[in-house]
Amino acid sequence: MHVDTHMHVISPDEERFPLNPSGPPDAWYRTDGCPVERLLDVMSAAGVDAAVLVQAFTAYSFDNRYCAESARRFPERCTSVAVVDITADDPITAARHAVRDEGLRGIRWVALEKGSLAEPHSLWEEIAALGVPAVVCILDNRLEELAAALPTIPSIPIALDHCAFAKYAKGVPDALSVLAEFPNLWLKVSSNVLDLMAEHGDPAEIVAELAARFEGRLMWGSDYSQTHDRPYAELVEWGRKGAAKLSDEHRAGYLGDNAVRMWPELAR
């Protein structure tokens, strides 16, 4: 299977699914907001079998309804990950509703500018009880904080979005490398990660180094339609080029097998 682990959907029906931007009003969701039907079309044309739909919090904040509905409508090709406000009074109820009532199959822990990575601990416990993976979205200045938090929280499957936007001017940063000691942590190598790597050489070399350090725990994702400076087919090809120096086993994991391990419903 070829799985895209990072895709965003935007509904054209703003009455049912009103935008509630947490970013600038003229951002990507206005210029190339992609409904799920078109997303599936471009995936099919590019040879991508399945997708993880990640709640677009910059467009909808914490309203996960369109992301959830899209995955429910096309369960043979999609699963979905919710965003909850980790700083809210009751994020546990929000996480429980997202998984039990809306059918989302993961919780995205967004702590770009505010919010702890270890607290609320009760939310980590709830995610574990719900039996879904977590997706952590941070910047690279919080990698050391993540390394400190991981031993204190439940050892559930965790994917690190965009490799925390780490920089590669001196190779793989030490703060990213140390996370390899946690066998429950996986790296999402998205289009913008490959772009950052390409500023300093051949991305395939750095991807291969990451695969060696993390024992193959990498997953590719396009970041489409938030990343839309190239057609989707080019983003897919960019992802495949990033795997050019991986072993057969690690390449299969990066392109889809690892996603199915984390989201087994995609194996349908």
pLDDT at 268: 73
pTM of the full structure: 0.96
pLDDT digits (tens, 9 = 90+) for 187-229: 999 999 999 999 999 999 999 999 999 999 999 999 999 999 9
pLDDT digits (tens, 9 = 90+) for 148-189: 999 999 999 999 999 999 999 999 999 999 999 999 999 999
Q: Distance between CA atoms of 147 and 139, rounded to whole angstroms?
A: 13
pLDDT at 143: 98
Instruction: State the pLDDT confidence band at 25, using cuts at 50, 70 and 90.
Output: low
Strand, helix or coil at 120? coil
Spell out the domain ranges in the chain: 3-267
Angle of helix 191-198 versus helix 232-242 axis, rounded to 10: 60
Does the pLDDT value for residue 138 go beyond 80? yes
User: Average pLDDT in the 8-14 region?
Assistant: 96
Q: Distance between CA atoms of 88 and 123, rounded to whole angstroms?
A: 11
Q: Could you please state the CATH topology (level 3) that the domain comprising 3-267 is classified under.
A: TIM Barrel (3.20.20)
131: left (phi over 0), alpha (psi -120 to 50) or beta: left
Q: Distance between CA atoms of 199 and 17, rounded to whole angstroms?
A: 38
Q: Distance between CA atoms of 225 and 212, rounded to whole angstroms?
A: 30
pLDDT at 30: 87
User: Average pLDDT in the 103-110 region?
Assistant: 98
Strand order in the sheet with 218-221: 3-7, 50-54, 78-83, 107-110, 134-137, 158-160, 185-190, 218-221
